């Protein structure tokens, strides 16, 4: 078999993390020059593969069609000669615990999938065919153009996308960076049509001219040995043709011409944000200087937040809320280095002073002798982090590696394919040379605010208003004032003790090593991952902190102020893989400290001592209030699908408040109110703490941590006189048989997308194990058909999601759709889909497929945890949700094994199909600017929906031809007669009646359904709380002195 490939690097010679037990082999297939990395992991419960193609959106310019590479990524999945059914691949993965995805970047396109470890070979066979014999089906062409268009429209109101496109639009028009990479209906349909081009023909030409095996990199990860994986790679991927194309080089042009540098670009955002960005055109050092990466030196220093830094100075002035710095690779050989400053209103007024200060700090770092001790700290942490890196999830592993494999065929020694991020060489000359590019001659400044005037231009694709001006000479002239800038201090948090404690008896659940009416402390020593890391989580239940919307807002503001207070020290910890976070949570707040355990208790002591001695600063109050207020306001301008879940959660749970009410309350908060709240009110009723100590700790260290926490809180009284397990907050539940419609108007007036979250309450209490399993099984079976019907076939929108919904105590199922269509229409189509899916469940779901879905769910439930933080999260959830159900997944699998197909059908019919028995909450997030759909689109939808409803196979190309012919003479009867003959259905009158109705009124009269609710008070006044969580086992079962449960 080795005659079929050349080995570039093999396992003994590939540098790996200390705990990485996977085996690796990097080869090049002799038949077609395909680079392949094989990864054998005998313990894997999930397998994965990824193929990266060395062509991306930068190639669009060659064909004059923006979005062509992205369109190729979409249409490629729609069937192959060997597997012509368009959803064969996704259906296979869905039945075997898998999923797939892809993305298009500037210079490459990445495809990947995940699947149950027993089904890798079948998935590989289907996957390989996309690169051997794709159909690029004409019947799918228009639908995938619509999918791309919908994806683009999803991003139109997103400032990140808008500003990125603006930078590209103002770059060198001869460089492919100056392009529109996503594409839309105009670029992929209207423009080619007007030019007499068939976009599918151009796409096939693009694929033929760029998809060549020598430009591809394949990564396969499975439980099989390396020889078996090698054999599969040869068998299934050797047929990919090698056209021996050279890898594209875009270095012939600079991304900015000289006349496009030293420019000030002013732009208006969608969100009420103020931002200043300094970007320098620099060479790319990722491969040429892979061992030293000089940009890391500047990223570290220019983005530092400790005393003496630019970030610290700007915050002290009240000009900035955040600062970040770093490099962005544009293409091989060319990068940009950014300094991005989030401004306060005062910062906006002083943006010129900020620019001057930033340039002075850059000059200070770039012109000073490179500091070897700074470099040593950065280098040391890259070695430590690599050495103790834990396994990544399989699909992210293969996708990440395939995207960079080309580097190890001549650019970077292949033995470093896993460790290319480790710094190895301090090269002061390279640092000096890199610093010479960080000068005004290579600079562009972007200023972003809604308050800017004189914006006389509009970017073509996102309609961003902007202006371009010359940078005035006095803005970049040296001022020689360093504002007490200096280097950071040496980092005291760098760990030095990496001893992993000897392992005791393996346990599933944590112990309770201390229990009282003031604090429960849970402890579990890591038995699985064997890394020198740990986590300490503390939930402080403080009823006085969240008694009403005012106290809730004051607590949020207090925490933000405190986080700013400790940011200087916390940033040092963050630089070495440690983290301390405080955030509000339900009836109090949560402290989490995690990372290398060597110095973790030191960090915890610092946080606690600062917290209980904290005195809010008047000087920080205004800019932190602004930061929080801005964050809350801007949340309402996020994509609708990112908002809608929080709106529902706030409605359904006690002690959570409407976002608009919180904003209004915060606007009126004074510093005096805040002082009184933090010093007195917040602690008034006392505290109860839940603590988890997890990781590389022994019981002695856990007790020491418990004492640290206890001593820090000794002046605060306990909240409960006697410990009561039922102290958790509750959620509201729906009444049987009711339908509630909760409507919110989208704040962003220009966003054309609406969103619906369709929630069916299965049970008001989630502790019914069988109902939980049946709901999970429903989610497994319905996921692919839901996506296929509502997104792929009906083209409702780019975002379609279905899954389980767990409230504080309730259990339910939800479907979420974001679309340009109205909320009423989305509800109609969701309910039609559930109706048709009910027919599938009752009449078409085979026993064989049902067993496959059960097995897929079992694999998901038993998926192994990949790293320590995953286990911490799972343990913590089981503690703070009040159920103490540490073996829930194992018990669910036991129940799942005995679920029959008839039980599942009965469950579906009772809880999903019976409209008169189910309880539903349908949340509408309505656009203020909905699109009016053309008559042709309405007719196409009416015909398509009728056929789907009646179980008739839909030929999309044929329907499109019918609609075109209707536009010529507007003779609906003729069109429907022709359709009736084609589909051979007997119900001619039904066809005419339904299509005619839906052409005039796309939504039936009964929609929208449900009792309308528009405020929290309106909903809560008519609904009851669902009760406290009921622990699966009493706390006493987990006490350390009683180990019978372990």
Q: pLDDT tens, 587-606? A: 999 999 999 999 999 999 99
Is the alpha carbon torsion for 80, 86, 90, 94 positive or negative?
negative
Domain with 88, as residue range(s), is: 2-237
**Across 870-942, where does the E strand assignment appear?**
919-926
44 domain-assigned: yes
**Over residues 390-418, mean pLDDT:** 93
* Residues 625 and 705 placed together within one structural domain of the fold: yes
Residue 1 is predicted with a pLDDT of 62
**What's 779's domain CATH number?**
3.30.830.10
Q: Is residue 292 part of a domain?
A: yes
Q: pLDDT-derived band of residue 1042, with 50, 70 and 90 as boundaries? A: very low
**Which of 677, 693, 712 delimits the end of a domain?**
712
Q: What is the pLDDT of residue 3?
A: 83
Q: What is the pLDDT of residues 40-49, one digit of tens each?
A: 999 999 999 9
Greater model confidence, 3 or 344: 344
Residue 619 confidence class, pLDDT cut points 50, 70, 90: confident
How many of the other CB atoms lie within 10 Å of CB of 117? 21
**pLDDT-based confidence at residue 55 (cuts at 50, 70, 90):** very high
pLDDT, tens digit (0-9, with 9 covering 90-100), for 931-990: 888 898 899 999 989 888 888 887 777 888 888 888 888 999 898 888 888 887 668 888
Residues 469 and 552 in one domain: no
State the DSSP code for 954. Answer: P
In this model, does residue 550 exceed pLDDT 90? yes
Residue 915 has pLDDT above 70, yes or no: no
Closest by Cα among 708, 646, 666 to 558: 666
- Same domain flag for 104 and 227: yes
Count of domains for the chain:
5
Q: Which of 418, 449, 476 is the last residue of a domain?
A: 476
Say whether the peptide bond before residue 939 is cis (omega within 30 degrees of 0).
Answer: no
Instruction: Tell whether 417 is covered by a domain.
Output: no
Let me know if residue 106 belongs to a domain: yes
Q: Tell me the mean pLDDT in the region 610-625.
A: 92
Paired residues of 37 in beta bridges: 26, 219
Rounded average pLDDT over 914-924: 86
* 220 located within any domain: yes
pLDDT score at 724: 83
CA–centroid distance for 801 within its chain: 14
If asked whether residues 557 and 667 sit together in one domain, one would say yes
Q: Which residues pair with 755 in a beta bridge?
A: 818, 925
What are φ and ψ of residue 913, in 5° steps? -80, -35
Task: Categorize the per-residue pLDDT at 477 as very low, low, confident or very high, splitting at 50, 70 and 90.
Answer: confident
Condensed to tens digits (0 to 9), the pLDDT of residues 124-166 reads 999 999 999 999 988 889 889 999 999 999 999 999 999 999 9
Are 534 and 441 part of one and the same domain?
Answer: no
User: Which residue, 696, 712, 728, sits at the end of a domain?
Assistant: 712
How many Å apart are CA 541 and CA 522, to the nearest integer? 16
Same domain flag for 907 and 952: no
Tell me which H or E stretch contains 610: helix 600-612
End-to-end CA distance of the chain: 49
Residues forming beta bridges with residue 109, ordered by sequence position? 53, 104
Q: What is the pLDDT, as a whole number, of residue 1045?
A: 39
Question: Using CA atoms in the order 406, 410, 411, 412, what is the torsion angle rounded to 10 degrees?
Answer: 90
The rounded distance, in Å, linking the Cα atoms of 308 and 300 is 13
Same domain, 660 and 743: no
Q: Domain check: are 148 and 178 in the same one? A: yes
- Residue 955: the pLDDT is 79
Task: Give yes or no for residue 466 having a pLDDT over 80.
Answer: yes
Q: Determine which of 125-139, 307-321, 479-493 has the lowest per-residue pLDDT on average.
A: 479-493
What average pLDDT does range 244-252 have in this prediction? Answer: 91
pLDDT of residue 1046 exceeding 50, the answer is no
- Element of type H or E holding 707: helix 699-712
Catalytic pick from 15, 73, 224, 672? 73
The chain-wide mean pLDDT, for the chain, equals 94
832 as an active site residue: the answer is no
- Top-confidence residue, 663 or 914: 663
Phi, psi of 188 (to 5 degrees): -100, -15
Residue 732 lies in a domain: no
Specify whether 85 is located in the same domain as 228.
Answer: yes
Distance CA 215, CA 38 (A): 18
Indicate if 436 and 565 belong to the same structural domain: no
- Tell me the mean pLDDT in the region 218-243: 98
Taking the C-alpha atoms of residue 120 and residue 229, their distance in angstroms, rounded to an integer, is: 10
Q: Is residue 382 part of a domain?
A: no
In a domain, 416, yes or no: no
Strands (E), 379-510: 443-448, 457-458, 465-470
Distance CA 473, CA 207 (A): 48
- The DSSP line for 340-372 is EEEEPHHHHHTHHHHHHHHHHHHHHHHHSPP-H
* Encoded tokens for 403: 């995207």
For residue 140, what pLDDT is reported?
87
Do residue 453 and residue 519 come from a single domain?
no
Q: How far apart are CA 932 and CA 935, in angstroms?
A: 9
- 622 and 760, same domain (yes or no): no
């Amino acid at each position: 078999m080795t005659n079929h490939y050349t080995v570039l690097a093999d396992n003994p010679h590939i540098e790996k993390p200390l705990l990485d037990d996977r085996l690796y082999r990097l080869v090049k297939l002799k038949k077609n020059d395909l680079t392949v990395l094989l990864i054998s992991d005998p313990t894997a419960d999930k397998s994965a593969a990824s193929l990266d193609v060395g062509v991306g959106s930068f190639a669009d310019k060659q064909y004059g069609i923006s979005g062509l590479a992205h369109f190729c990524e979409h249409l490629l999945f729609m069937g192959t000669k060997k597997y012509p059914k368009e959803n064969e691949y996704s259906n296979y993965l869905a039945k075997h615990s898998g999923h797939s995805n892809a993305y298009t970047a500037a210079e490459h396109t990445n495809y990947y999938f995940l699947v149950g470890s027993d089904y890798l070979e079948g998935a590989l066979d289907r996957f390989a065919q996309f690169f051997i014999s794709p159909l690029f089906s004409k019947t799918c062409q228009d639908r995938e153009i619509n999918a791309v268009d919908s994806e683009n429209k999803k991003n139109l109101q997103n400032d990140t996308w808008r500003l990125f496109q603006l930078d590209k639009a103002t770059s060198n028009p001869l460089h492919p960076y100056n392009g529109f990479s996503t594409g839309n209906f105009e670029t992929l349909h209207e423009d080619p049509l007007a030019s007499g081009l068939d976009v599918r023909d151009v796409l096939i030409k693009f694929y033929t001219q760029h998809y060549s095996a020598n430009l591809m990199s394949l990564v396969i990860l499975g439980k099989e040995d390396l020889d078996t994986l090698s054999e599969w790679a040869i068998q299934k991927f050797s047929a990919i043709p090698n056209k021996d194309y050279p890898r594209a080089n875009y270095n012939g042009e600079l991304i900015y011409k000289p006349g496009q540098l030293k420019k000030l670009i002013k732009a208006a955002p969608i969100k009420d944000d103020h931002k200043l960005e300094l970007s320098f055109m620099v060479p790319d050092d990722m491969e040429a200087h892979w061992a030293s990466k000089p940009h890391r030196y500047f990223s570290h220093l220019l983005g530092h937040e400790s005393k003496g830094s630019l970030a610290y100075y700007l915050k002290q002035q009240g000009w900035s809320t955040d600062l970040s710095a770093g490099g962005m690779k544009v293409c091989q050989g060319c990068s940009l280095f950014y300094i991005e400053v989030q401004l306060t209103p005062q910062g906006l007024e002083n943006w010129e002073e900020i620019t001057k200060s930033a340039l002075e700090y850059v000059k200070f770092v770039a012109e000073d002798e490179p500091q070897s001790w700074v470099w040593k700290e950065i280098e040391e942490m890259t070695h430590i982090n690599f050495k103790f890196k834990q396994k990544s999830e399989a699909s992210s592993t293969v996708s990440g590696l395939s995207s960079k494999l080309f580097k190890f065929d001549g650019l970077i020694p292949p033995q470093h394919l896993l460790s290319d991020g480790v710094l190895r060489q301090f090269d002061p000359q390279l640092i000096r040379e890199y610093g010479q590019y960080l000068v005004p001659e290579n600079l562009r400044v972007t200023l972003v605010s809604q308050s800017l005037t004189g914006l006389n231009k509009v970017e073509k694709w996102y309609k961003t208003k902007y202006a371009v001006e010359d940078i005035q000479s006095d803005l970049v002239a040296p001022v020689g004032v360093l504002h007490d800038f200096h280097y950071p201090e040496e980092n005291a948090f760098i760990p030095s003790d990496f001893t992993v404690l000897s392992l005791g008896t393996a346990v599933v659940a944590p112990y309770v090593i201390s229990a009282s009416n003031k604090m429960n402390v849970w402890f579990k020593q890591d038995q699985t991952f064997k890394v020198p890391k740990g986590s300490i989580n503390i939930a402080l239940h403080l009823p006085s902190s969240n008694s009403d919307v005012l106290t809730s807002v004051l607590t949020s503001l207090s925490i933000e102020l405190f986080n700013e207070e400790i940011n200087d020290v916390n940033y040092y910890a963050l630089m070495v893989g440690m983290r301390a976070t405080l955030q509000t949570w339900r009836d109090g707040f949560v402290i989490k400290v995690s990372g290398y355990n060597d110095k973790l208790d030191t960090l915890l002591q610092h946080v606690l001592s600062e917290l209980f001695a904290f005195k809010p600063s008047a000087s920080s109050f205004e800019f932190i209030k602004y930061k929080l207020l801005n964050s809350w306001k801007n949340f309402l301008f996020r994509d609708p699908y990112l908002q809608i879940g929080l709106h529902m959660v706030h409605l359904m749970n006690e002690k959570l408040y409407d976002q608009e009410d919180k904003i209004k309350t915060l606007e009126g908060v004074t510093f005096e109110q805040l002082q009184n709240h933090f010093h007195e009110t917040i602690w008034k009723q006392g505290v109860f703490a839940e603590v988890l100590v997890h990781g590389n700790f022994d019981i002695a260290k856990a007790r020491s941590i418990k004492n640290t926490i206890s001593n820090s809180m000794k002046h605060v009284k306990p909240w409960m006189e006697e410990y009561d397990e039922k102290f958790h907050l509750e959620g509201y539940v729906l009444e049987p048989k009711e339908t509630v419609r909760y409507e919110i108007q989208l704040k962003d007036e220009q966003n054309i997308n609406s969103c619906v979250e369709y929630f069916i309450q299965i049970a008001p209490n989630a502790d019914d194990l069988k109902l939980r399993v049946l709901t999970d099984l429903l989610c497994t079976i319905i996921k692919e058909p839901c996506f296929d019907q509502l997104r792929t076939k009906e083209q409702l929108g780019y975002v379609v999601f279905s899954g389980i919904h767990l409230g504080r105590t309730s259990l339910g199922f939800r479907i979420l759709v974001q679309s340009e269509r109205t909320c009423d229409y989305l509800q109609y189509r969701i309910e039609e889909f559930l109706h048709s899916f009910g027919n599938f469940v009752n009449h078409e779901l085979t026993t064989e497929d049902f067993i496959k879905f059960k097995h897929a769910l079992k694999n998901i439930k038993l998926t192994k945890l990949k790293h320590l933080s995953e286990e911490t999260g799972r343990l913590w959830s089981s503690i703070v949700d009040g159920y103490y159900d540490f073996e829930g997944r194992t018990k669910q699998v036991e129940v799942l094994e005995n679920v029959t197909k008839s039980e599942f059908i009965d469950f579906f019919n009772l809880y999903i199909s019976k409209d008169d028995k189910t309880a539903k909450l349908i949340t509408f997030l309505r656009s203020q600017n909905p699109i009016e759909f053309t008559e042709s689109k309405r007719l196409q939808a009416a015909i398509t929906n009728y056929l789907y409803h009646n179980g008739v196979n839909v030929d999309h190309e044929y329907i499109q031809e019918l609609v075109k012919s209707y536009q010529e003479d507007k003779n609906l009867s003729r069109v429907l007669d022709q359709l009736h003959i084609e589909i051979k259905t007997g119900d001619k009158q039904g066809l005419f009646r339904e299509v005619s109705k839906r052409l005039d009124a796309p939504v039936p009269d009964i929609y929208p359904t449900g009792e309308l609710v528009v405020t929290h008070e309106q909903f809560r006044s008519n609904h009851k709380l669902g009760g406290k969580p009921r622990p699966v086992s009493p706390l006493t079962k987990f006490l350390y002195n009683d180990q019978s449960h372990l």
